[in-house]
Structures are given as C-alpha cells and as structure tokens.
Amino acid sequence: MRILVVSNVFPPGFIGGYELAALDVARGLIARGHEVHVLTSDYFLDDHGVLSGPKVSRSLRCASLSHEVSSTDQVKHLYYSFHNVRALGSAVRQFRPDAVLAFNLHGLGVHSILQYLQAIGMPTVLYLMDNVFTGLDRTSGLHQQYESLFGPLELGRKTRLIGMSENVIRETFGVLGKQPEDVTYVPGWVEFDERRPADIAVSSSDGVRFVFSSRVAGHKGIDIIVDAVERLTCEGLRGFTVDVYGAGQVAAFMQRVTAKNLTSFLSYKGLVSKDEMLEVLSRYDALLFPTWEREAFGFVASEAAVAGCFPILTAGIGASEWFLDGTDCFKISRNVDGLASAMRQVLHWSDDERRNRRLAAMHTGRRSFSFERWLPVIEGLCLEEVRKASPRDLGAVTRGAEAALLVLSSLFNERAQGRG
Amino acid sequence: MRVLHVSPTYYSSASVIGGGEKYPTYMIRALGDAARRSGVAVENGLLAIGETEASFKVAGGVTCEVIPGRPWDPHSVALGALRARIGEADVVVVHQGLCAFGLFVASHARLAGRIVIGMDHGGGEHPLVGRSTEVGHVFDLCLAQSQFAALSFVDVDAPVSVCRGPVDTDYYAPSREVERVPGLVVSVGRLLPHKGFDRVIRALPANLRLVIAGNRSNPEYFDHLHGLIRESQAQIAIQEGLPDDEVRTLMRQASVVVHASTHLDYRGTYYAKPELLGLVPLEALSCGTPTLVSTAGSLGELGSVTGCSTFSTDGQLAELLGSRGGSAVSVDRADEIHRSVASLYGMGQFGDGLLNVLLTFERAR
C-alpha cells in the first residue's frame, strides 16, 4: 500500500507519545513493505534528512498544540483550515496514496480535513490517541455558524477509527455529542525483544527506587509527586528515591524540590531517548504517573510494565484499562493522599513481593503491549478500508472538494468578519 | 436518475413571480418529457427556500418542496434538510449557481459526490467568482440557456454547454378562439427599471394602445412609469396581479409584444445581465404574436426566430411600432412563428439536449 500519514507534528521534534507513535507506525509499515509518506506541519524544524524512515513533507500549518486556545484564529483552526486542505490535496495528487492514516489532527482544522478526505472517497483510518476535537465548544456562536455552513461536526461516516483507550473515545465523542460506534482499540505499545527472558533482579540494599518519566508539568502530576514525597518524609519514611526524567517546567520543579528540602529524595536526571527508555525503566521498582484523568493512554505506563517497573497510575486513564489494580499496578486517586498511600505500600513490600509485583507488571506488559502484535492490526484496518474503496479520478475529485471547501470557508470568514 | 433542482426562490406569489423562478419548472417538464420519449427513468424534484417547510404545486404541475430559510442567505438554510435531499439525488441542478446561495448548495452537492450542474438566472455573483476561477470546480458543467448566458461562466473554470430555451410551446400556442386586436401592444414582466417599460411608453405612437402586465417590484419605477403615462398621448394601462392564463390571453390578442430590456435604465444605472434568455418574448412568439425585442443581453439572439425583430435604440423601436403595431398577424403567420419557436427554443429540443448531457455524465461515472 501507499500510505499517507498525517499528523500535526512529527519527529524529530515532539510533544509527547502521539507523534512518536506516528513515527513508530510509519517505520513499522515501511518495514512491512509499504510506501509511507508523512504530511505534517512546520511547527518543529525540519529534520534535514536526519530522520530515517518515511519521507516527510512539512507543508501543513498547525495553529496550536495547546488544549487551551485563545485567539479567534486559533479557535477557527480547530474547525477548518483551507491552507491545510489545499496542502493535503496537493499531497494526495502527488503521492496518490491508497489510504490515509491520520494521527493527531488538533490545530490543523480537523473537521475540514476529515470532510475533505470523506468527500474524495479516500480510505481513511484515524488513530485517536488524544481528543483531536479538544477546545471545540458546541454551545458557542462560532460553532453554530460553522455547523450552519459546513454541516455537523463528525468523524466522518467513512473514517475508520482506532481508539487508544475507552477513555479517549469517551471524551472525543462527548465533545461531538454523539455515541461512539465501530471503534477498534489498539493500546500504546513497546518495541522489545520477545525472546529475552522475563526476569528481574531485586536488591533491598539500594532502597526502593521510584521513577517519573513524562513531561515535567503540572498536568502530568509532577507537583503531586513532590507533595507526596514530602508527606512520606514527614512521616519519617526513608530508604527511597524518585528520579525524574523529561522536559518541560524543569526549573520550577527543581526550585520546588530545593525549597522543600527534598533533594536527597527527588533528583532530576535529564532526558532519555525512546530507545534507552526500557533499559532505564528496568532499573526502577515503580513508576509514578499521577497524570490528569483525561490522559488518553500514557505510553510510559506500557513501557514501564514491559520493563518490569510496577506502574502507579491515575485510575481511569487509558493505560489503566489494561491493568488489574493491586495485581500488576496500583490505580490511584489523583491526589497526594492517593499517591502517598500507594508509595507507602511499595515501601513496605518485602524483596520477594517487590520482585513478584514487578514480574506481574512485566507479564502484563509483554502480553498486552507488543508492537509486533498491534502493528498488523493497524495495517489490517488500512487494508480493509482500501479494499472497500471505489476507483475514482483523484485529480478531479480532489479539485472539486477543494473548491467546495474554499467556498464554504469564504462564506464562513465573511460571516465571522461581520459580512455576508 | 434522480435529478434535484435547487433554487433560492420559487414561482409563486408567496415567493417570486419571475423568469428565474419559472425556468426550473420548464426545465423539469422538458427533461421529464424527453426521458419518457427515450425510455430513460428520470425522477425530477424541485427544492426551494422559504419561511416554513412546505410542499405544493407550482407552474406546470411541478411539485416544489420548500425547506426553511431566507432564500438568498446560505447561513439561514436548514442544512440538514438540504443535505438529506442532496443525498437522495444523482444529479443536482443549482439555479442561480453563482451567487452565495448557489455556490453553497453546489459545494455541498460536490462534497456529497453528486453530478453538479450550475445555471445562472441573473441572481448575481459571489465575490469569489472572478477572484478565483477554481470556484468552477464545484460544477461538473455550467449550463447556459443562451450564448449570452454562457458569458456568465467565463470567469470560472468549468465546462459550459448551451441548451437554448426552453419555453412551454404547448401552453403558449396560438388560439383560434382568441381574436387579435389591431393596434394592441403588450409588454409583460416585473416592473423593474431594467425591463425598460419606460422605453416602450416613450416610443409608443399615439394611435396604438399599450397594456403592461406585471407586478410592481420597485415603487420608484412604478411612479416614474405613471408619470410617463400621464404625459403620453397614447392609451396605456398597467395591469397588476394577472394570472398566467390572462397574461397568455393578452399575448394572443396583441398585434405586437414588446420586450425592451436595457443595460442602462432611465436613471443611468447599468445592468450587466438584463436578460439571460427572454422567456416573455419567447412565450409571446410561441403564441404566434410578432415580437419586438431590444438587443440587451440575450434578447438579440431571439432575432433568429421567425416573427421576432430587434431594435437597439428607442428611435428604432418607435419606427417598428409605427410600421407593425397597427395590424394583426394572420393565422398562418402565427402558426409559422409558433413552429419556429418550438424548433429553436421548444421543450423537445431542450429536453433531448439536456438528457443527452446528463446521460453522458452518468455513463462517465
């Protein structure tokens, strides 16, 4: 197949797991004999050919990666972007894909892109690892104006959906005000050597080692971790450390740790590449991941599990759907009490118990999150859509659909600017 | 093949009584008749916009379905209903296709993957037309009712085909039962400045009588006409609100029908498209009545029809009225004129041509 991958951002620059996953899938599909072209924005610098794998075009415009948009222009870009429709049309005419595999469309004018792909009859699979409609407000005047011209916001009857979790699907369809239907679930994955024996060595001499590896930001729970560590130390608990990996608001984090006099317990360890992540995580007993409840999945939880690092994560997030509380993870309430309580339990485990819990997490991880298991599922869905598609004159249909969206965009802008 | 005709307004006193509204009804009947003759299954539907949802018969027994909205405002249209109707069709004919409403409908038809035919009846153009030829890609074909109408599509990138007419030559036919009235001049149309009724009044010789049949659409122009009538030596009357049957009777009685549309009205205002076909003169000619038309817009093209004479200036009109206005046409001559209209602008030739075009597109799909 010739597959066009569409994503708002794409490595080497990245914000989180969504775009890294897009790279994994693109490379995986190439390895399975498909031709893959990536269409993304110029939000991050070009890789200048350094990135191995797919050919990447950065002709899209991404208005915002933030879930909180302020300017009218940014809000409008949540709905439509004629520039991006045009760029997509151009890519379709040049690359002539059999299918489009879409990842994060937030900030690209998600509705116009889906409406366009549907109009040109392009087999499309949308992999929802986040709510790509976030920021849309169905009660706003702008939204109503939009729907009066373009039609209701929908995922597109012909768009095949992959959901990373029930959590993300629930939130996405909540924004759309619709019930989800026909979703295939593919969780976050890990590339690992399945032939390597699943074993863990635990030594009590090092104390209990916790790890956090994500964006160093409030919504990922870094402040909750600091406060929970403070709580445990105030209780007199010792013999543990928390190492922090990742980018973000690192300065604020370190200042806070210093201010609370917790430097013997909490250390910032810098950034770790995705390739090194498994090895690094395997050195820790438990992952601390008190992330926000709307976390679509949380790749780090699957990576931790595969590495035999016992996940302590917010109950209800996407990754938690694949674990059993108390057996291969702790699902916590997202607050200091919840996290401190889970950490306390881990601190009271014997070496054997610690090893067994970590092994349980590892078994779950290896069973549930193997990339080799899930990539063929993604590939199969693309193939299925391609088989269902009717032959069409791509040149004519793309130009017709672009003209139609040009008209609707123009009418929408006139109204938004008080004309028409 | 299911063909949906979409027009912002419809031929009714509840909406607009005008050529642009009557045209879709002719088109529907012409296509339906041609399909029956050729044994092709064609289902025609007419959709328009109005205050409330409704369904009723308009001219020629055509059923018009009305969905809620303000006729020319795309933002106000019940889009769900519109998209549902489009979804049921194979072909969507968008009347007034170049205005905001028309482009809006055409865009949704295009996104739904339908065959989209655009037509212009003088409803204006959205600023995108002329700014981006690409807008034409929302149409598979632009259909023009005259060579002049074809010019409307010069600024858009879309194939254009001319199918002349149609006019209902069954309804508008000479009648042995209606007596011709020597010296009776008739003009028909909405009382709008670009229709040039003032030209007819000014050019009318004192020995002729003029009846203007039309509804007032512009109070200022209406007053202007009355001022001219008061100054005229001739006998002139304006008859408003006449039903189609009575207008036809007037056409049948007339010695001559005059259609004096103009690009430049009495105030000096310019009209780019005063006529895109000229249904009124065609209907008059189809009644067998000699007709005088100006050369404005498409009207000059009607000069090829037997019994139709053209004029460029008011002086030429006065001369023509002086030479032809007094005597009534013979029965044979009336039949000859009628046959000429039927062959050049009749429903048969139009319907066959249109059906052929649609089948070509459908086969290509």
Exposure letters A40-67 (e unless 16+ CB within 10 A, then b): bbebbeeeeeebebbebbbebbbbbbee
pLDDT reported for residue A67: 66
Give the span between the Cα atoms of B140 and B364, in whole angstroms: 11
Tell which residue, A404, A346, A299, A330, has the closest CA to residue A23. Answer: A299
Q: Which residues contact B160 (CB under 8 A, 6 or more apart)?
A: B141, B142, B143, B144, B150, B153
> Which distant-in-sequence residues (6+ apart) come within 8 Å of A361 by Cβ?
A304, A305, A308, A309, A310, A311, A323, A328, A329
Q: Do B111 and A420 touch (CB under 8 A)?
A: no
pTM greater than 0.90: no
Q: What DSSP designation does A321 have? A: G
Question: What pLDDT, on a 0 to 100 scale, did the predictor assign at position B161?
Answer: 93
Amino acid at A310: F
Q: What was the pLDDT predicted at A105?
A: 94
pLDDT value at residue A47: 66
b/e string for A367-405 if b means 16 or more Cβ within 10 A?
A: ebbbbeebbeebbebbbebbeeeeeeebeebbbbbbbbb
pLDDT tens digits, A369-404 = 999 999 999 999 999 999 998 888 889 999 999 999
3-state class of A181 per DSSP? coil
Average pLDDT (A314-325) is 96
Rounded mean pLDDT, A410-416: 85
What's the pLDDT score for residue A181?
81
Q: How far is A59 from chain B (nearest CA, A)?
A: 21
- Give the sign of the dihedral formed by CA B221, CA B227, CA B231, CA B237: positive
Cα–Cα distance for residue pair B171/A128, rounded to 1 Å:
62
pLDDT of amino acid A262: 95
Of A145, A399, A407, the CB nearest to B107: A407
User: Which tens digits make up the pLDDT trace of B260-316?
Assistant: 999 999 999 999 999 999 999 999 999 999 999 999 999 999 999 999 999 999 999
Q: In this predicted model, what pLDDT tens digit does every residue of A216-255 receive, in sequence order?
A: 999 999 999 999 999 999 999 999 999 999 999 999 999 9
Cα A252 to Cα A258, A271, B47, distances in angstroms: 10, 16, 63
Cis amide bond preceding A12, omega within 30: yes
Please report residues of A whose CB lies closer than 8 A to that of B76.
Answer: 148
* Cβ within 8 Å, pair A404-B110: yes
Q: How confident is the model at residue A68 (pLDDT cuts 50, 70, 90)?
A: low
Q: With a cut of 70, which residues of chain B have pLDDT below it?
A: 59-60
Contact flag A145-B104 (C-beta cutoff 8 Å): no
* Cis peptide bond prior to B127, omega within 30° of 0: no
Q: Which among A90, A113, A407 is the top mutation candidate for probing chain B, defined by the most B β-carbons within 10 Å of its own β-carbon? A: A407
The whole-angstrom distance between residue B355's C-alpha and the CA centroid of its chain comes to 20
DSSP B3-39: EEEEESS-BSTTSB-SHHHHHHHHHHHHHHHHHHHHT
